[in-house]
Amino acid sequence: MNIRDLRYLLALAEHQHFGRAARACGVSQPTLSVQVRRLEELLGVALFERGGKAVTPTAALERMIGHAREAVAETEAMIAVARNQRDPLCGRFRLGVIPTLAPYLLPLVFAPLRQALPSLEVEPWEDQTEALLDRLRGHDLDAALLATEVDGPDLASRPLFDEPFLAALPPEHPLVQREVIAEADLAPDILVLAEGHCLRDQALAVCGQGGALSGALRASSLPTLLNMVAAGYGTTLVPGLAAGAAQDAGIVLRPLSAPSGRTVCIAWRTHFPRCAAVEAVGDVIAARLRGFAEGAAAGTVG
């Protein structure tokens, strides 16, 4: 059963004339003639009474034609929806972002995204890496911005930009005197985020598992951590994009003697069909952050 046949049917019922109906359908008269007859044979019912003068729908067709009309209409509606969805750079795009990145990166990239991909509705979702990966695997996200590379059978990722780490010191800290801080010097009184934050692991990896890691002082968010540092509880590493926020909190920032940092990536399901959207979003973010690493290492925010 072909929708085309139903179109022929409706055209013939409307025009009551094979030639005109065929012209309306853009086919030859024999084509429509044969197809209608085939349909009649298939259904086992006479659909039209072919008089010498007029071609009239039978009572049987009258009862069927409503359904036929609906079937054609629904099919066309479906095709119309498909046509509207055709552009992968269109529609909702659920983008996960880790908490140590979201508040500092999103303000920078929202405007460029909106300009470059006006019909892509980017919906951010803030959560920690593992939760984001779960949601990504569960089709609850379309992509995620992470500070860790992902590569597996089902997920893939692509680096977008490097975010250098800066040493964060309370204003009265003795190390403030130095222009450049050695990572090891931070270790004794370093503060880190609560478990689950990738920044915690990265800071510890850079500075070594400092023994002074006081159990009571684990911040659950980066702003809290910055406040704790500003209040003199200890030092920490801040990612470059948070430099402005750190300074606003009254923290002194210093470059590291051996510059290190983390790589922000965009991750997606290997088989995600709208990878064009992932790519485009990644391009926009990478372009916005181009040259950021150097500037941030020198203490400037892009």
Partner DNA sequence: GGGAATGATAGTTGTTCCCTATGATGATCG
Partner DNA sequence: CGATCATCATAGGGAACAACTATCATTCCC
Beta-carbon contacts of residue 72 (< 8 Å; ≥ 6 apart): 3, 6, 7, 10
Interaction of residue 92 with DNA, rule CB under 7 A: no
With CB under 5 to 8 Å by kind, the binding choice for 82 among DNA, a copy of itself, none is a copy of itself
Taking the complex as a whole, the smallest distance from the CB of residue 56 to a copy of itself amounts, in Å, to 6
What does the DSSP assignment read for 213-275? --TT-EESSHHHHHHHHHTTS-BEEEEGGGHHHHHHTT-EEE-BSS--EEEEEEEEETT-TTH
Interactions with DNA, residue window 96-125 (CB under 7 A): none
- Closer to a copy of itself at the Cβ: 197 or 269? 269
Q: How far apart are CA 115 and CA 266, in angstroms?
A: 20
Q: Convert residues 260-289 into a mask of x (bound to a copy of itself by CB under 8 A) and - (unbound).
A: ---------xxxxxx---------------
14 binds a copy of itself per the rule CB under 8 A: no
Neighbours of 85 (CB within 10 A): 11
DSSP 101: T
What residues have CB less than 8 Å from 18, skipping those under 6 apart?
Answer: 12, 29, 32, 33, 36, 55
From 50-58, 71-79, 88-96, 139-147, span contacting DNA (CB under 7 A):
50-58
- Residue 46's binding partner among DNA, a copy of itself, none (Cβ under 5 to 8 angstroms by kind) is a copy of itself
- Interacting residues toward a copy of itself by CB under 8 A: 1-4, 6, 43-46, 48-53, 56, 58-60, 63-64, 67-68, 70-71, 74-75, 77-79, 81-83, 85-86, 88, 91-92, 139, 153-154, 269-274
